[in-house]
């Protein structure tokens, strides 16, 4: 006997009905929709991944309290009137159970194809759409049971406090004889790829299943983008088929031009940068692939994208802004790969951003860096230098309080044939520049001196980059010291998303040391405030009814200053 179950459930038989909470009907041999299947026993409050289309009896596994499997092998189990108050959660057997770790991010080089057929994928997609439409109608009828949290703007300039940045499209910019200004907003947003959501369903066990369908999520994401109305969007985890069929056309209808770079492996997502054509024109688009077949270290398929944009108003003809977007490797124990990917992105920026006078144009770097504030990788971005001698690879990103990756970073981290120096620039271009500048000196150098210099460079444990960057967000609330949060799911609530920028001399919001930055630069006028973990769990974490990603969008307003 199983005291946890009602007596009429214990007496399993043919053609019986079970009612739970007056809302759920479980029937045997009933000619109803078979859109779900049992793949393991979960308690009513346990996680429930997305349903899949399948013959229920062919795949179901029953918990011990249902007795021997053979007794029920011939039965067809179906779930009718599936609502948000269901008593049984029927997960997909291909999904992860709550005790499993996320799928490996490593590139699969075996070349094996997925077992699902195009017909199965089509049926799955269609059933999700039908189910989601009914969910949306049901929620309209009964109303939302979860609250919403309002995010407010934080301003750094007195003249902007009375203006709502998200709706202000014509700025009353002031100009002086030696300074021109141009105001614009930038958003960084990891929109959560549907493919990754389903592969890592254990991270969303707190969510109602209906809220995880793409047909429910995309209208919410698009509405967020409309309301925040940024001039530049840097999006991560943009699934390629969704981008091609929905996202790109939807954003173009809002006045954006879109550039996209898909990951190089089997994961069908990537990074996109979209900008308002009324504010910018495209000078160049430069994708960055972090996978290198001939370098074992770089066996992951993350990518970056670097755009050079030309402002349309109130600027000199030579004015430009460099906008970069990336999503670095997740694996907390592979800090060596993370740092190498970051160096590759910085090298591409260094090749795109130089101006005629030798300085860099203003730079904005957005993305999901899978690193927390104060970590060595974070400090390297902001401080422009990192001595990684003796640093364990598991401590680079700071994602784990007790890191499991204890191997020490090798010196150098990446091989010479990558073509990127310890200063995070392409060696060929840098070498050509040096040759042009000091050709006579190189001729007079003894051969042994050159060998010594090369050897010392190889053995250097110091990384550097030439950009003096500030973070839009301070990562802690000044009144309480409570951490800001950019992502929140069943496993963690931390900051991993950032907007970094090259600060102008008079930017009061910039970090110390950035005031001697470039000629001109960016001044931070305001930002959309982040939330605490407590705030997010008050609306059941992320995703929820109103916020359909497990990340929050970051949004900042800048003023471009030319001198």
Q: 448: part of which helix (H) or strand (E)? A: helix 447-458
Q: For residue 155, is it within any domain?
A: no
Do the domain assignments include residue 493? Answer: yes
Q: CA 301, 475, 258, 126 torsion: positive or negative?
A: positive
The pLDDT of residue 149 = 84
Of the CA atoms within 13 Å of residue 269, those in its CB half-sphere come to 19
Closest CA to 501 of 485, 524, 529: 524
Query: If you average pLDDT over residues 33-56, what whole number do you get?
Result: 42
Report the mean per-residue pLDDT for the chain.
76
Q: Which of 18-22, 168-172, 420-424 has the highest mean pLDDT?
A: 420-424
Structure tokens that stand for 43 in this block: 């308690």
Which residues pair with residue 20 across a beta bridge?
24
Asked if residue 110 has pLDDT above 80, the reply is no
Candidates 123, 132, 39, 37; CA nearest to 84 is 132
366 DSSP β-pair partners: 325, 499
- Is residue 263, in this structure, part of any structural domain at all? yes
CATH number of the domain that 501 lies in? 3.60.10.10
| Predicted confidence band of residue 181 (pLDDT cuts 50, 70, 90) | confident
CA atoms within 13 A on the CB side of 506: 10
- Give the bridge partners for 78, in sequence order: 27
Could you tell me if residue 7 is inside a domain? Answer: no
At residue 139, does pLDDT exceed 70? no
pLDDT tens column, 78-92: 433 333 433 333 334
Q: Which of 422, 380, 375, 382 is nearest to 398 (CA)?
A: 375
Distance CA 165, CA 159 (A): 12
Q: What is the mean pLDDT of residues 474-490?
A: 97
User: What is the predicted pLDDT for the residue at 423?
Assistant: 97
* Location of structure tokens 């939302």: 144
Q: How confident is the model at residue 6 (pLDDT cuts 50, 70, 90)?
A: low
In this prediction, residue 313 carries a pLDDT of 83
Residues in Cβ contact with 508 at an 8 Å cutoff, skipping those fewer than 6 apart: 156
With respect to residue 126, please indicate whether it lies within any of the assigned structural domains.
no
State the pLDDT confidence band at 460, using cuts at 50, 70 and 90: confident
- Percentage of residues of the chain with pLDDT beyond 70: 61
For residue 478, what is the DSSP state?
A: T
Task: Please work out, in degrees rounded to the nearest 5, the angle formed at the alpha carbon of residue 476 by the alpha carbons of 335 and 323.
Answer: 60
How far is 252 from 164, CA to CA, in rounded Å?
A: 24
Q: Left (φ > 0), alpha (ψ -120 to 50) or beta: where does 365 sit? A: beta
Listed in sequence order, the DSSP H helices in 244-403 are 248-253, 335-352, 376-383
- Rounded distance, CA 384 to CA 378, Å? 10
Q: How far apart are CA 321 and CA 307, in angstroms?
A: 8
**List of E strands, 157-207:** 180-190
Tell me whether residue 546 is in a domain. yes
Domain that holds residue 219: 179-400+407-421+460-562
Contact between 94 and 252 under an 8 Å Cβ cutoff? The reply is no
Cα separation, 522 vs 178, in Å, equals 16
Residue 63 pLDDT: 47
Say if residue 195's pLDDT is above 70.
yes
Give yes or no for residue 526 having a pLDDT over 80.
Answer: yes
Q: Provide the pLDDT for residue 507.
A: 76
pLDDT digits over 220-252, tens only? 999 999 999 999 999 999 999 999 999 999 999
Q: Which of 58-62, 430-434, 476-480 has the lowest mean pLDDT?
A: 58-62
Spatial CA neighbour of 368 closest among 386, 392, 341: 341
6 or 220, which is more confident? Answer: 220
171 within a domain of the structure (yes/no):
no
Distance CA(424)–CA(443), nearest Å, equals 26
| 261 — pLDDT class (breaks 50, 70, 90) | very high
Q: Is 508 helix (H, G, I), strand (E, B) or coil?
A: coil
Most distant pair of Cα atoms in the chain: their distance: 96
Question: Beta strand 363-368 with 385-387: parallel, antiparallel or unpaired?
Answer: unpaired
Residue 354 pLDDT > 90: yes
In a domain, 270, yes or no: yes
Q: Which two tokens stand for residue 191?
A: 């929109």
Total of domains in the chain: 1
CB 396 within 8 A of CB 404: no
**Coil vs helix vs strand at 424:** coil
Q: What is the mean pLDDT of residues 122-127?
A: 44
Q: How large is the average pLDDT for residues 305-326?
A: 89
């Amino acid at each position: 006997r199983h005291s946890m179950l009602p007596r009429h459930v214990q007496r399993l038989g043919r053609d019986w009905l079970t009612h739970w909470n007056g809302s759920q009907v479980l029937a045997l041999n009933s000619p109803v929709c078979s859109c779900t299947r049992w793949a393991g026993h979960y308690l009513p409050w346990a996680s429930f991944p997305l349903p899949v289309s399948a013959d229920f009896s062919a795949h179901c596994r029953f918990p011990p309290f249902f007795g021997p499997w053979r007794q029920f092998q011939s039965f067809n189990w179906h779930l009718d009137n599936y609502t948000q108050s269901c008593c049984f959660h029927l997960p997909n057997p291909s999904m992860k159970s709550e005790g499993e770790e996320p799928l490996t991010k490593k590139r699969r080089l075996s070349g094996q194809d997925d077992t699902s057929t195009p017909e199965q994928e089509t049926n799955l997609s269609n059933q999700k759409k039908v189910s989601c439409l009914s969910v949306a109608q049901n929620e309209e009828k009964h109303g939302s049971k979860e609250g919403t949290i309002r995010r407010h703007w934080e301003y750094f300039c007195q003249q902007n406090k009375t203006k709502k940045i998200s709706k202000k499209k014509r700025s009353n910019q002031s100009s002086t004889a030696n300074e021109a200004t141009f105001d614009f907003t930038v958003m960084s947003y990891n929109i959560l790829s549907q493919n990754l959501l389903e592969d890592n369903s254990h991270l969303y066990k707190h969510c109602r299943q209906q809220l995880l369908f793409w047909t429910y999520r995309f209208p919410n994401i698009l509405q967020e983008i409309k309301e925040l109305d940024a001039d530049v969007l840097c999006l991560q985890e943009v699934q390629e088929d969704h981008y091609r069929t929905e996202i790109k056309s939807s954003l173009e209808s809002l006045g954006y031009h879109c550039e996209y770079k898909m990951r190089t492996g089997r994961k069908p997502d990537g990074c996109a940068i979209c900008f308002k054509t009324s504010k910018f024109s495209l000078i160049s688009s430069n994708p960055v692939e972090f996978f290198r077949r001939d370098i074992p270290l770089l066996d992951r398929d993350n990518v970056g994208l670097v755009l050079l944009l030309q402002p349309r108003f109130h600027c000199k003809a030579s004015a430009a802004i460099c906008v970069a977007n990336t999503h670095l490797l997740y694996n907390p124990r592979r800090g060596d790969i993370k740092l190498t990917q970051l160096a590759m992105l910085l090298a591409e920026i260094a090749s795109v951003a130089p101006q005629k006078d030798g300085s860099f144009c203003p730079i904005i770097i957005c993305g999901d860096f899978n690193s927390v504030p104060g970590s060595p990788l974070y400090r390297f971005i902001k401080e422009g230098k990192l001595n990684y001698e003796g640093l364990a690879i598991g401590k680079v990103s700071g994602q784990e309080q007790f890191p499991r990756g204890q191997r020490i970073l090798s010196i150098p981290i990446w091989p010479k044939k990558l073509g990127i120096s310890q200063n995070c620039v392409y060696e060929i271009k840098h070498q050509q520049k040096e040759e042009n500048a000091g050709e006579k000196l190189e001729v007079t150098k003894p051969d042994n001196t050159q060998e010594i210099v090369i050897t010392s460079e190889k053995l250097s444990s110091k990384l550097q980059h030439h950009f003096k960057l500030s973070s839009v967000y301070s990562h802690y609330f000044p009144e309480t010291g409570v951490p800001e949060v950019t992502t929140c799911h069943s496993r963690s609530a931390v900051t991993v998303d950032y907007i970094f920028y090259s600060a102008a001399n008079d930017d009061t919001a910039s970090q110390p040391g950035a005031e001697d930055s470039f000629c001109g630069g960016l001044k931070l006028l305001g930002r959309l405030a982040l939330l605490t973990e407590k705030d997010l769990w008050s609306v059941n974490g992320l995703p929820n009814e109103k916020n359909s990603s497990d990340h929050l969008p970051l949004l900042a307003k800048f003023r471009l200053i030319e001198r």
